Amino acid sequence: MGDETCPKCGTSLPQKRRSGGRPSTYCSQKCRQAAYRDRRPSSVASPAAVAADELVRRAAVATAQREVAWRVDALLAQAGELQSRLDAEWQPIAVEPAGPLAAAKQVHAAATEALAAAVEAELLAGTDWPAIAAQLGMTTRRAKQMFAVREGVPAEQQAESGDTALAGDSAPVAEGGAEVVDPIGWRFAVPEAVAIAVQAVVDAVEVEPISSPGSSVLAADLRRWLKRLVATVNSDNGEGLRRELRWLLATPMNAGDLLDTPVFVAVRELAKASTVLLQCPSCGYKPGTEPAERSRHLEYLDMLWLDMVGEQVVLRRHCIRCEPTGIVGVSLSCPVCDEGYLLERVLATANADGRLPAPLLGWLANAGWHVDRTAGGSLVTAHRACAAALAGPGRRAPLSSTGAHSA
């Protein structure tokens, strides 16, 4: 063990690796989140600030609706050009090869852009994903994937990630939407290219046992990481997979440290593919290659923020450059495991008043939280599973003894 200790609880930390990688600043995720809340002063927005936010939201809806109108105008112009090209086929004049096909492709692209703009406008106006998907005649998951709007962020600002929400992301995406979802499977928690690279690593491990990839400290760390990765995939834990990939992203890969085996060739390819997860899904910022910068950036992206857009529950992730200001540190946490969410402005105000919105209470109840309806429908206590484990077998969990709190 080294001389370093966890700044939150004082527990000794493992000795730092000579090969670099993401520093172990805290002993656990619980201490990391607690320290995050401690170092940010808690405050609640004024009614004027909430009203200002609503005006901004309405302006965004109006802008999005104008964007739809502009896209439709462009679509009509492209359609007119296509009609002219098709009419020309019946005239005794020369038509360039593939001219109508090229025009049809442009019309298709314009229609896709108009549809995406309309979806974004609906989301900003408060329409939830199930309602949008029903209008499109597809499943909610397919609609989210097609229009790449996750964790409450417009498509042009998205990293290519699976979220939500995480949504979330959110669960996580709902790592992003309004619907309540079960914990997301690992294949849906990351982009398809990353999922393929993960599967390639798992397949390589099955063929080649994790034994002697090299003698360096990095090689030893990677052997342990591979075992965690395989266990995470086998348990179909999407958020767990994202955590393992974050470790990989903050760990420098030096070719001389590893043997050129199929497993570690696959690991290097996964590290390259996973760089899309470095991009902040809220503002688009992406750090460079410096491990310390990546580590700090990923620490912020570990935190899930809850927000409401109309009646829609939205999960977001923010980096240090775009995290909400003035209300940072207001949280809804399980008193047993200390896991939970940070609350954005409107919800921070509602939490301070003890009046969380009914759609959010329903979302939390379906996500495994206990909501005490006897307290006016606004008291959220521990995770049901955590409270049951704390009570022990055969005992009633003390669910109503602890409420949501602000750090």
Q: Nearest 5 degrees, angle CA 54-CA 60-CA 65?
A: 130
Percent of the chain with pLDDT over 70: 60
Percent of the chain with pLDDT over 90: 0
* Crossing angle for the helix pair 99-124 and 47-88, to the nearest 10 degrees: 160
What local confidence, expressed as pLDDT, does residue 154 receive? 36
- Judge contact between 291 and 252, C-beta under 8 A: yes
- Closest C-alpha to 43, from 345, 380, 402: 345
Lowest mean pLDDT among 2-16, 273-287, 359-373: 2-16
Q: Is the pLDDT score of 21 beyond 70?
A: no
**What average pLDDT is seen over the chain?**
69
> For the purposes of burial, counting CB atoms within 10 Å of the CB of 353, is it exposed (0-12), middle (13-18) or buried (19 or more)?
exposed
pLDDT band at 291 (very low <50, low <70, confident <90, very high): confident
Which comes out higher in pLDDT, residue 129 or 278? 278
- Closest C-alpha to 397, from 350, 335, 355, 348: 335
Question: In the predicted model, what is the mean pLDDT of residues 393-401?
Answer: 45
Indicate the domain borders of the chain.
324-401
Lowest mean pLDDT among 59-63, 249-253, 278-282, 306-310: 59-63
Question: In the predicted model, what is the mean pLDDT of residues 279-304?
Answer: 84
The listed range with the strongest mean pLDDT (122-136, 154-168, 316-330) is 122-136
Question: What CA–CA distance (Å, rounded) separates 382 from 398?
Answer: 9
| pTM over the 0.85 mark | no
Q: How many CB atoms lie within 10 A of CB 354?
A: 12
- Judge contact between 161 and 190, C-beta under 8 A: yes
Helix, strand, or coil (residue 223) = helix
- Judge contact between 280 and 159, C-beta under 8 A: yes
- Judge contact between 380 and 359, C-beta under 8 A: no
Question: What CA–CA distance (Å, rounded) separates 155 from 289?
Answer: 25
Q: Is the pLDDT score of 400 beyond 50?
A: no
Question: In the predicted model, what is the mean pLDDT of residues 333-337?
Answer: 74
Question: What CA–CA distance (Å, rounded) separates 1 from 4?
Answer: 8
Lowest mean pLDDT among 154-168, 214-228, 329-343: 154-168
- Judge contact between 129 and 140, C-beta under 8 A: yes
